[in-house]
Amino acid sequence: MAIALRDVPAEKSVALLVKLAAQYDGKDRAYLEALGLGSEGKESAVYRAASASFAKDPVAWNDAASAIAWRLHPAEAVPALVARANSTQLSTEQRKRMVTALAFSPTQEAANAMMDVAAAKSGEASAQAVWWLLNRKSNHWADFNLDKAMKERGVYDPENAKLTAVEMPAPAVGTTPLPESAEIAKLTGDEARGKAAVGVCYACHRIAGTGVEFGPELTEYGKQQTREAIIEAIAKPSASISHGYEGSIVKTKDGLTITGMAVASGDPVLMKCMGGVIQTIPRSRIQSMSKMDRSLMYEPAMLGLTGQSIADIVAYLKSLK
């Protein structure tokens, strides 16, 4: 029904689209997309009417309200999107979702709002806002002189970019070799010990709501993968690197080495480093940039892991609901 209303004039379709929006459960992605398609060209009218039933405080929106604002992203929603993007009461994913919504609004208001989120320097959401500003400044927001604004707000100034060396330590030598993965798989893991041992993973992974968003999120990974696959991934991290998590090495002209994941390789290069920190590296500062020949994930010996502690971690990951 929503898709059928796509080409129906606003005066005849908005009320029906709002009724359909009121029935959205906040989960059905196909329903949300159909609602967005049906609202094409009349997003503002649908949002104004639908949002009358949303919580007055955008931070208190339920999943349905948040998703509708994200999909329609009209200019009228910009203040609410910013409020959610900057709220420390929301999860990183919820905040980043609002930043993405801002990025798809072609207005000056959205660009200014994105600048506010970036200038707030509030973790992942702000880092993502910087990425979008750098991505949009030469296309959708080309008329808004974002280079000057970013420099004035302290968001990005290529002439004064502060860079920090981040080098991967050399592989451990002289340590006791781990048993083969098949042998580790025969060990009985203990969930309680695993919950304690997994603490070394929090520096790079989010697990059950705890940790840093650098490597893959491991809660769903633990549910979906077999014990054997998880053991192999921990025991031999360089044997199979997940797509999108390949490492790069940047050498700067002033002698710094910066390792991490290149999340954007234009000018500037955006490098996501250990701890989830994103460094913005002007191309003019780069001497060389190359792919790493090993994983960014530390080898077990570097983390003090044994065959038994790996088995315990796997038991804990498999226990997560």
Distance CA 183, CA 104 (A): 50
Number of alpha carbons in the 13 Å side-chain half-sphere of residue 93: 6
Instruction: Give the residue ranges of DSSP H helices in the chain.
Output: 10-22, 29-38, 43-50, 63-72, 78-85, 92-103, 108-119, 124-136, 146-153, 181-185, 191-197, 218-224, 227-235, 307-319
Is the CB of residue 110 less than 8 Å from the CB of residue 102?
A: yes
Distance CA 319, CA 321 (A): 6
pLDDT in tens, 88-131: 899 888 998 999 999 998 899 999 999 999 998 777 788 889 88
User: Which residue is listed with tokens 């009358």?
Assistant: 52
What pLDDT, on a 0 to 100 scale, did the predictor assign at position 276? 80
Instruction: Tell me how long the chain is.
Output: 321
Report how far apart, in Å, the C-alpha atoms of 104 and of each of 110, 259, 264 are: 8, 30, 18
What pLDDT, on a 0 to 100 scale, did the predictor assign at position 267? 84
Distance CA 153, CA 120 (A): 10
Mean pLDDT of the chain: 92
Q: CA-based diameter of the chain, in Å?
A: 75
Distance CA 140, CA 83 (A): 23
- For 281, phi then psi, to 5°, come to -115, 110
pLDDT in tens, 190-219: 999 999 999 999 989 999 989 988 888 999
pLDDT in tens, 268-290: 898 999 888 888 899 999 999 99
* Share in percent of the chain as helix, strand, coil (round to 5): 50, 10, 40
Span 158-321: which CATH code? 2.30.30.100
pLDDT in tens, 54-99: 999 999 999 999 999 999 999 999 999 999 988 989 988 899 899 9
Local confidence band at 32 (pLDDT 50, 70, 90 cut-offs): very high
Local confidence band at 183 (pLDDT 50, 70, 90 cut-offs): very high
Distance CA 5, CA 300 (A): 56
Which residues pair with residue 270 across a beta bridge? 264, 280
Domains of the chain by residue range: 3-153, 158-321
